[in-house]
Amino acid sequence: MTPAIASALMPLMRGLDAETAHGIALRALALGLAGQDRGADHPSLATEVAGLRFRNPLGLAAGFDKNAEAVLPLLRLGFGFVEAGTVTPRPQAGNPRPRLFRLTEDQAVINRMGFNNAGLDSYLARVRALPRLLPGVFGANIGINKEGADPERDYPALYEALAPYADYVTVNVSSPNTPGLRDLQGEERLASILAAINARRAGLAKRPPLFVKIAPDLADDALGPIVEACVAQGITGLIISNTTITRPASLRSGLKDQAGGLSGAPLFALSTAMLRRCHHIAQGRLALIGVGGIAGAEQAYAKIRAGASLVQLYSGFAYAGPVLVRQILDGLAALLVRDGFTSIADAVGKDA
């Protein structure tokens, strides 16, 4: 099967509960049934961020492959990088179902999954089994359990466990579906967590770059202190952004009032505005990854011009399927040529 055929079959899944359909799709991907991308990336798409070489700047965001079940097949679809997770120290079931909702009219998704995952041991078993040389970059997204958590203990332990295998690690302190998690974005608490990770990190043989994923709902006056806390702790960069708990007035779906985080097209403007502000505040001191509402090359390019060195998909990929990856990559290359850029790096922040 090819990515195009796999994408053409996706409408057949629309009649299923969203979480059931996602599980089937993930299993099919893990078995390699979606095929692989046969296209060639334009040389202008290659980029280096945080000392890592990316064949292209397009990644798959955390949340799609929570348990690292399909990292290699996903990379074979053409992604420059795949971020798997969020993984927590212990397995947890997450929130009661239903907890994943398609807002088809809005090309959006609402989820209140609650960090459902099989836990660190299961995740580690899968990443240890990955080939040493992957066709892209592998990122691990880490979080804390709903009960019995100690962030200053748990995040460093997760980082240490995954450091030998991950190319980079993301600290998730911004999911709206774990009570109290977003409170960890406060300047003092975030600095405490990052300092605890750094203390553990110092003694490791391999120290993968560290990113922090933040919420799009932060007040304007909170963003500066977060940036400064990350810079002070030597953090590599920020992922902007997680899902939003706001509900734009433009939403049409009857499911728009479901509790949880909203992602997809309605998140684009909010997350891109935050990305632009962060680029202005950071002044090149942090690498930025833009995520939220990307469903085509134009949106990916807008994130890059707003300050993102890399971009990630989730909801757009869930709606359009594997064929979207090559469409975005070819479109991005064409946009760079149109505007006279010879590389992705040349376009970063041009509109910020």
Per-residue pLDDT, 211? 98
pLDDT digits (tens, 9 = 90+) for 21-30: 999 999 999 9
- Per the CB < 8 A criterion, the answer to whether 74 and 98 are in contact is no
Tell me phi and psi for residue 155, to 5 degrees.
-65, -45
CA-wise closest residue to 290 among 341, 342, 352, 233: 352
Q: Catalytic positions, please? A: 175
Per-residue pLDDT of the chain (352 residues; tens, 9 = 90+): 666 655 655 665 666 899 999 999 999 999 989 889 999 999 999 999 999 999 999 999 999 999 999 999 999 999 999 999 999 999 999 999 999 999 999 999 999 999 999 999 999 999 999 999 999 999 999 999 999 999 999 999 999 999 999 999 999 999 988 988 888 888 899 999 999 999 999 999 999 999 999 999 998 899 999 999 999 999 999 999 999 999 999 999 999 999 999 999 999 999 999 999 999 999 999 999 999 999 999 999 999 999 999 999 999 999 999 999 999 999 999 999 999 999 999 999 999 7
What pairs with residue 108 in β-bridges?
103, 264
Question: What does the alpha-carbon distance between residue 244 and residue 292 come to, in Å, rounded to a whole number?
Answer: 10
Residues with Cβ within 8 Å of residue 133, at least 6 apart in sequence: none
The residue with tokens 């890592």 is: 52
What pairs with residue 212 in β-bridges?
171, 238
Strand ranges across the sheet with 100-103: 100-103, 108-111, 261-264
